[in-house]
């Protein structure tokens, strides 16, 4: 279970870094990404979501660090059971 949580946290960081890398590789000047419904589905009323990927990477890295910090004692304890 703890490995799964660490993997999810790491994946959050890696995916955000990858998208930010694509933006940089293609000389896109804005770090913002907007997720919105296609025009024909816009009638659903869902509001677009605006993300600043630079801030998202920082937040995901902080979350990953916190998950590692919280799970480290548990993983050490479980390791003593084996």
Kindly give the confidence (pLDDT) of every residue in the chain, 82 residues in length, as a single tens digit, with 9 standing for 90 and above.
678 888 999 999 999 999 999 998 999 988 888 888 877 655 667 788 899 999 999 999 999 999 999 988 888 887 756 5
Categorise residue 15: left if φ over 0, alpha if ψ from -120 to 50, beta otherwise. alpha
**Size of the chain in residues:** 82
pTM of the model: 0.71
- 27: three-class secondary structure by DSSP: coil
């Amino acid at each position: 279970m703890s490995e799964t949580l660490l993997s999810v946290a790491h994946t959050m960081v890696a995916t955000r870094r990858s998208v930010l890398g694509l933006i940089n590789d293609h000389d896109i000047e804005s770090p913002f990404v907007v997720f919105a419904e296609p025009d024909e589905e816009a009638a659903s009323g869902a509001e677009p979501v605006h993300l600043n990927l630079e801030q998202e990477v920082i937040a995901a890295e902080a979350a990953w660090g916190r998950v590692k910090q919280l799970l480290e004692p548990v993983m050490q304890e479980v390791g003593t059971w084996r």
